[in-house]
Amino acid sequence: MRALSVSALLLLALGCCWGTQDNFLDEDVVEPVIQASKYGSLWPLPQKVQISDVPLKLSGTTFEFTDAKGSTAGASCSVLQNAYRRYFDYIFGGPKKQKMSRNRRSGPTEVTELQVSITSPDSQCDGYPGVTSDESYELSVDAPVAVLKAPTVWGALHGLETFSQLVYEDKYGAKTINSTKVSDFPRFAHRGILLDSSRHFLPIKVLLANLETMAMNKFNVFHWHIVDDQSFPYLSRTFPQLSQKGAYHPYTHVYTPADVKMVIEFARLRGIRVIPEFDTPGHTQSWGKGQMDLLTPCFSGAAPSGTFGPVNPILNTTYDFMSRFFKEVSSVFPDGYVHLGGDEVDFSCWKSNPDIKKFMDEQGFGQDYSKLESFYIQKLLDIVTTTKKGYIIWQEVFDNGVKLKPDTVVHVWMGSGSDAEMNKVTTAGYTTILSAPWYLDYISYAQDWQKYYKVEPLNFNAETRHTYPRLEGQPGTIPERDGKNYLGRVPDPAVLSLVPEPYLLRPGLAEPLQGRPAGF
């Protein structure tokens, strides 16, 4: 997924002939008509929302969040209690003042309470969000009591976010909310953001602030591309020399076990999964600094050149190392998935190495180095399987024909032909995550959000429509398998194909999704 590095180098090379690569400007950008929306600024737009014209008041002195009677989550549910405090802050701009005129008479049009009710027997208060988590919620705002119902705390978190977005100030500055009904659930189960902490180190503070913002946008996966060629900031308990030697700085530019724990818990409290990526066999230059014999020595003629290539796939020690390393990773990161990378493997170093040539002959791989790559990935997948984790891999691994478990998630990133790739991957029956249109690190200009907005993930020419509900990393749903739809919300595929955006209203903005030509 590194096309940028290549283009960046290209740009550097062209640096002296400036002006010639200036054509970043997108001429097609539409200047949107900005008009007030009667839906406030709910973002992302809920599946169903009805906002009445009836304004109700809220006051920081009387308003409170409460656990509804019969809710399966109570005062001991830290996810909810933390969220109450957070959202009180967002709405009223400060912490709740205790015991302030609780007796004050509230008017008939005042909302004094948001009752939160978790309805399923397992509220998941003490658990982690996962790919099968039910994130749905129903919100009804009325005076004096507003009600938020959700099967799990994860849905309730989204409901609290929506509630906070409904509150606005009237012209006198009084907190106001209109009587409203919302029924909401996510279209896709995996809604992620990738951050790269290897090319530049990102301070913990920045990671946390980003999680906060993700929650406001109802994102639910932090894909932590934690290490890469440039640096290895993950402090491993089992192999501390990896960051000791491979980080930009062994103390100031590392993520300690306590840091990682903090990120995971901060994310959990916001309903966000943390999926770590430890990309191999390529993108591993920084691993080699702290772990001898892990990388392949490259040869120049008959002698080692002193440089190193991808992970050495022909040594048993490599697999011993990976077993111990991923055992640690699987215990540190609670999520059910780990991202194994597998992208952009450069074969030239393997080709230069006589031991690898010999191994290729023994294995009968001939000159086909993608077979060697598959050999490595296969062994790696077996290792990770023993840790009871599911895995995500970049699309090349699938393209190279590595044998994958049926619940493998294939991550589509290559910019060109991503529609065809989505088609191929889903036809083969794999779940998939789409990133190709959302490489935000690319240089763009002006109202570039419009092009990220106009993306329609299901717009590829699927041969088999029944694969639709399995998109975007919903392996756990697998409604076809046992006939039961866990989410209970993915519309019948046939309907989906007729109505691409069920219930989806887009007030306010020009309606970019309607009448859009296919294959944007």
Partner 1 sequence: MKVMRAVNTKQCVPIIYALLQLIIFYGGRNVVTGVWPLPHALTVFPERYPLNPRTFYFDYGRHSATQQGCSVLDAAFRRYLWIIFPDYTAENGQFAANNSFNLHISTDHNDCENYPNEDSSERYNLSVSAGQASLNAATVWGILRGLETFSQLVYQDEHGSYFVNKTYIEDFPRFQFRGVLLDTSRHYLPVYAILKTLDAMSYSKFNVLHWHIVDDPSFPYQSRSFPNLSNKGAFHPETHIYTQSDARRVISYARMRGIRVLPEFDSPGHTRSWGKGQSDLLTPCYKGGAPSGAFGPVNPALQSTYRFMTALFKEVSSVFPDSYIHLGGDEVDFSCWRSNPHVRVFMQKMGFGGDFPKLEAFYVENLVNITSALNKTSIVWQDVFDYHERRSALSVVEVWKHGCYLCKVRQVTKAGLRVILASPWYLDLPGPTHNWARYYTVWPLAFPGSEKQKKLVIGGEVCMWGEYVDATNLFPKLWPRASAAAERLWSDEKQTSSVERASPRLEDFRCKLLRRGIQAGPLYVGHCKHEYQGV
Under the rule (CB under 8 A), what is the footprint of partner 1?
Answer: 8, 11-12, 15-20, 22-25, 199-201, 203, 205-206, 209, 230-231, 248-249, 252-253, 443-446
Minimum distance from residue 318 beta carbon to partner 1 (Å): 26
In one letter, which amino acid is 508? Answer: G
Nearest 5°: the CA angle 498, 499, 503 is 160
Neighbours of 316 (CB within 10 A): 7
Q: Is 328 assigned a catalytic role? A: no
Minimum distance from residue 205 beta carbon to partner 1 (Å): 6
Minimum distance from residue 512 beta carbon to partner 1 (Å): 20
Q: CA-to-CA distance for 363 and 13, rounded, in angstroms? A: 41
Measured over the CA atoms of residue 467, residue 472, residue 475 and residue 479, the dihedral's sign is negative
> Of the two residues 231 and 280, which places its CB atom closer to partner 1 in the complex?
231
In one letter, which amino acid is 296? Answer: T
Judge if the upstream peptide bond of residue 512 is cis by omega within 30 degrees of 0: no
Q: Is 44 exposed, middle or buried (0-12, 13-18, 19+ CB in 10 A)?
A: middle
> Of the two residues 209 and 258, which places its CB atom closer to partner 1 in the complex?
209
Q: Which residue is catalytic, options 212, 328, 344, 456?
A: 344
Q: Is 408 exposed, middle or buried (0-12, 13-18, 19+ CB in 10 A)?
A: buried
Minimum distance from residue 8 beta carbon to partner 1 (Å): 6
Q: CA-to-CA distance for 60 and 162, rounded, in angstroms? A: 18
**Beta strand spans in 145-197 (E):** 145-150, 168-169, 175-184, 192-196
> Of the two residues 248 and 438, which places its CB atom closer to partner 1 in the complex?
248
Minimum distance from residue 233 beta carbon to partner 1 (Å): 10
Q: CA-to-CA distance for 358 and 340, rounded, in angstroms? A: 27
Minimum distance from residue 35 beta carbon to partner 1 (Å): 18
Minimum distance from residue 22 beta carbon to partner 1 (Å): 4
CB 144 within 8 A of CB 113: yes
Judge if the upstream peptide bond of residue 475 is cis by omega within 30 degrees of 0: no
CB 234 within 8 A of CB 284: no
Calculate Rg over the CA atoms of the chain: 26
> Of the two residues 248 and 503, which places its CB atom closer to partner 1 in the complex?
248
Concatenated DSSP letters of 345-371: ---HHHHH-HHHHHHHHHHT-TT-HHH
> Of the two residues 284 and 374, which places its CB atom closer to partner 1 in the complex?
284
Nearest to 325 by CA among 251, 270, 389: 389
> Of the two residues 172 and 445, which places its CB atom closer to partner 1 in the complex?
445
Kindly state the tokens that stand for 128. Answer: 């982690």
> Of the two residues 168 and 449, which places its CB atom closer to partner 1 in the complex?
449
- Count of residues in the chain: 520
Give catalytic residue positions: 344
